[in-house]
Amino acid sequence: MKNRKKKIVIVGGGLAGLALAMKFCERNGEVTVVSYQSLKRSHSVCAQGGINAAIDAKNEGDTPEKHFYDTIKGGDFLAHQPLVRDMCYQGPTIIHLMDRMGVAFNRTGEGHLDFRRFGGTLYNRTAFAGATTGQQLVYALDEQVRRHVHDGSAKTLEWHEYLGAVLDSEGICRGAVIHDLRTDEIYTLKADAVVLATGGPGQVYGRSTNSVVNTGAAATTAYMQGAKFANGEFIQIHPTAIPGQDKLRLMSESARGEGGRIWVPRDANDNRNPREIPENERYYFLEEKYPLFKNLVPRDVACREIYDIVYNQNLGISGDPMVYLDLTHKSKEFLDNRLGGILDIYTKFTGVDPRVTPMKIFPAVHYSMGGLWTDYGPDSHGLIDHGSPKNQMTSIQGLYAAGEVDYQYHGANRLGANSLLSCIYTGLMMARGVMNYVDSLEKSVDDIPSTIFDDARSHWESRFNDIKNMNGSENPHKLHHELGDIMLANVLIVRDNKSLEKASHAIEDIETRFKDVKCLDTTDWANPSPSFINQLYCMIHLSKIIAKGALMRDEFRGSHYKPDFDLHQPKDFDPHEYIDYLEQKQYGEVTEEKFPSGHLDYMKRFQENNEKWLKTTVAQYKNNQPEITYEEVNTSLVTPRPRKYD
């Protein structure tokens, strides 16, 4: 197998897909990038605030090791540690690479990279290009891939949809089934490996900060073909979004990183213009409750506090579910330079200028920490062996996943500005492993009988024919809207088992009604209707994974908040006590009087809970349902301990 050009198919033209395409071309591989739309329009462009790397440009003593710890703690210890550590150590190299490609990163007086603060850390660790960092990074990678297309080493198939993997008789992935979204033709691509870089599943919730293409359909299809899906219940809700009809637009965490303050009037009936409300009548609840991290607590923490203010304390602005995000104390010049893009977007959609009037925001579904289960090959230094063919491979041999669609890097809650890093990191890191995988194959894709490909194609052709023949009474778009409403009402920030059970039944009801869907358009040119129905089918199954995972996980971890299982950390608790406790326990010296009252009980509860629940949720498709099991998490480098941010 060594003397043949290695041929891979990458599905998705966002950061992860493009990073891998570039790297694979450099290594003389042959790449086909399949994208639902033109490259340059992927959801990665929506990332705003920046990308993390511990370069320590401000002489604060930041290091990749601290970045690693912040990320692990931010994710409530649910992420495999060697991977996260490797990613954080690669961070500086990745930023310098992107800088060399011409990304217009903001710079210091001396012309070096500038950094700002983000949530969940006390360091200035986030490099940024205005407030459209994701867009700038995508463009830079897109330009490099375009260069390889120009040179003939890469090929793009835009306006093509991935339908499923082609599996041979041994269950090894040998290619992909592709749907041309214009001619309606369905065909197969042969490949030594297929990589899904298809992003997140925000559309399962109907309205979110995600783009229209983020249905999670590709990942769900992989799951239905036998791939494991991990940690589905961990959905990140972003604390600050702009309410809207068609979508909830993101208001970047960088607004707070640059000094933005969150508040509500202390008096619920105070309907004055926010600018007329004096300082002492404003309740800066995050600053009061978390004097150390203030407005930059991690996203899961900020969401719960905003939720509490609005629904428990009834302090939302004018009784509505909204709080102020205030930047008006900053100069217009400063704001234009560092946040211009997102402030313009706010103005365009609300007609209100945030440079003058505080913004009104509320949390919205934003990111999926969970995704396709993927493997990795650790080395002996607590890092990753970049040559391991296991890196980023799903449980289907030859089918890989990278970027938001995988599950490995963010545990139970992602820190802001780590997603761009994890996407580019996975794309770059896995290239060598994929090459080695292809080398190790005993049989080449050319030795696979053509019937395998013919069967895969005809399976999907008949599937789409069946969809076109659906002539019931349900409108698929209305059904999608209802599914989203179920998920928003029951599987969001605050979760309880009664609502989750209700959600599961409601999803089943949607699944039954799905059979009565009408395909609104049966023509054969540029017709999005059958594709959407197939995506809706996938979204129904994905929502089952999320809801069931949430129902079964009886604990409170990161973004998965079940008040019934809150361990109630004592207010004066110090996480170091827990390390002392573990040590004393090891030597059989634990005594009650060594800890403040109630702390020992809490620590016992914490440890017991971790033994039971510090596990990866794994969903597998069995009898039309997700079957849930749990796997160990690699916590070999830092001891899991209670999180604290005040």
Partner 1 sequence: MTEKTITIKVKRQDKPKSPSYWQTFEVPDKPFANVISCLMEVQKTPTTRDGKTVSPVTWDCNCLEEVCGSCTMLINGRVQQACTALVDNLEKPIVLEPMSKFPVIRDLQVDRERMFDNLKKVKAWIEIDGSHDIGEGPIMPDQDRAKRYVMSECMTCGCCLEACPQFTIDNSFLGASTFNQVRLFNLHPSGEMGKEDRLNAIMGEGGITDCGNAQVCVEVCPKNIPLTESIADISRQTTWQMIKNLLTK
| Cβ atoms of 214 and 43 closer than 8 Å | yes
Toward partner 1, which CB reaches closer, 100 or 622?
Answer: 100
Q: Which is nearer to partner 1, 26 or 379 (CB)?
A: 26
Minimum distance from residue 583 beta carbon to partner 1 (Å): 39
CA 420 to chain centroid? 10
- The secondary structure of residue 527, as a DSSP letter, is -
Q: Where does residue 586 rank: exposed (0-12), middle (13-18), buried (19+ CB within 10 A)?
A: exposed
- Which residue lies nearer to partner 1 by CB, 441 or 519? 519
SS (H, E, C) 413-452: CCCCCCHHHHHHHHHHHHHHHHHHHHHHCCCCHHHCCHHH
Helix (H) or strand (E) holding 239: strand 235-242
- Is residue 4 part of the annotated active site? The answer reads no
Task: Scan for tokens 């400063």, then name that residue.
Answer: 334
Phi and psi at residue 236, in whole multiples of 5°?
-85, 130
Q: How far is the CB of 38 from partner 1 (least distance, A)?
A: 6
- Residues 139 and 360: their CA atoms lie apart, in Å, by 31
* Between 129 and 491, CB nearer to partner 1: 129
Tokens at 189, concatenated: 């691509």
CB of 497 to partner 1, least distance (A): 33
Q: How far is the CB of 340 from partner 1 (least distance, A)?
A: 9
Closer CB to partner 1, 241 or 633, in the complex: 241
* Dihedral angle computed from the Cα positions of residues 514, 517, 520 and 524, in that order, rounded to the nearest 10 degrees: 70
Taking phi over 0 as left and psi of -120 to 50 as alpha, with beta for the rest, 627 belongs to beta
Least Å from the CB of residue 41 to partner 1: 4
Active-site option among 125, 299, 304, 495: 299
The letter for the amino acid at 605 is R
CB closer to partner 1, 122 vs 526 = 526
Helices (H), 441-528: 450-468, 476-490, 497-514
- In the complex, the smallest distance separating the C-beta of residue 182 from partner 1, rounded to whole angstroms, is 6
Is the torsion defined by CA of 117, 121, 125, 128 positive or negative? negative
Is beta strand 229-230 parallel, antiparallel or unpaired with respect to 615-622?
A: antiparallel
Find the helix or strand (DSSP H, E) in which 603 lies.
helix 599-613
Least distance to partner 1, CB of residue 625, Å: 29
* Smallest separation (angstroms) from partner 1 to the CB of 27: 10
SS3 (DSSP) at 351: coil
Rounded Cα distance between 214 and 204, Å, is 8
In this structure, how many other beta carbons lie within 10 angstroms of the beta carbon of residue 623?
A: 5
Between 79 and 364, name the residue whose CB sits nearer to partner 1. Answer: 364
3-class secondary structure, 618: strand
DSSP secondary structure letters along 158-225: ETEEEEEEEE-TTS-EEEEEEEETTT--EEEEE-SEEEE-----GGGGSSSSS-TT---HHHHHHHHT
Q: Which is nearer to partner 1, 52 or 610 (CB)?
A: 52
Catalytic residues, which ones? Answer: 299
